[in-house]
């Protein structure tokens, strides 16, 4: 199938397919005599796998590792689980960082009167040097 059909079946754009090929996530497609890319069912399955991994927030590097493990019939599931656990730890850390951002923003918003006066704690805090931040 051509790149447009592969993209449709996998739920990604043709641009993303070319991007994944350039980054080495997807093996280069076979080419017709005219130079058009041709994909098979296996390529579409890998594209779906990549798309789902991206939805879960795995990095390109992590997806490379997952694909390598997926392609290895002698892999240990332990290796896959370890990779997923590491990603989960990263997600949890990001969630803590986002929670801290949320708290700070809530405090700043509460401290800004939001009226016609120019004084605003949000602008003052953002203007303060990092070492003076509470």
**Ordered mean pLDDT values, 10 residues apiece, the chain (134 residues):** 96 96 91 92 96 96 96 96 98 98 95 91 87 62
**CB-facing half-sphere around the CA of 128: CA atoms within 13 A:** 11
What pLDDT sits at residue 134?
A: 56
3-state DSSP assignment of residue 24: coil
**E strands, the chain, where?**
30-31, 37-38
Position of tokens 């003076």?
A: 132
Cα gap 129→110, rounded to integer Å: 21
Specify whether the CB–CB gap between 54 and 63 falls below 8 A.
yes
Check residue 31 and give left, alpha or beta (phi > 0: left; psi -120 to 50: alpha): beta
How many C-beta neighbours within 10 Å does residue 37 have?
19
Task: Return the structure tokens found at 105.
Answer: 């923003």
Cα gap 20→43, rounded to integer Å: 11
Specify whether the CB–CB gap between 47 and 13 falls below 8 A.
no
**Whole-prediction pTM value?**
0.79
What pLDDT sits at residue 128?
A: 84
């Amino acid at each position: 199938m051509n790149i447009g059909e592969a993209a449709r079946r996998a739920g990604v754009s043709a641009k993303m397919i070319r991007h994944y090929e350039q980054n080495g996530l997807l093996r280069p497609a076979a080419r017709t005599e005219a130079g058009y890319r041709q994909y098979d069912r296996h390529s579409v399955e890998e594209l779906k796998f990549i798309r789902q991994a991206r939805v879960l927030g795995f990095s390109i590097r992590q997806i490379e590792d997952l694909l390598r493990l997926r392609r290895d019939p002698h892999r240990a599931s332990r290796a896959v689980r370890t990779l997923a656990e590491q990603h989960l730890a990263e997600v949890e850390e990001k969630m803590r960082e986002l929670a801290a951002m949320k708290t700070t923003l809530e405090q700043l918003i509460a401290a800004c009167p939001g009226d016609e006066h120019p004084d605003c704690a949000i602008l003052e805090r953002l203007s303060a040097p990092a070492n003076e931040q509470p």
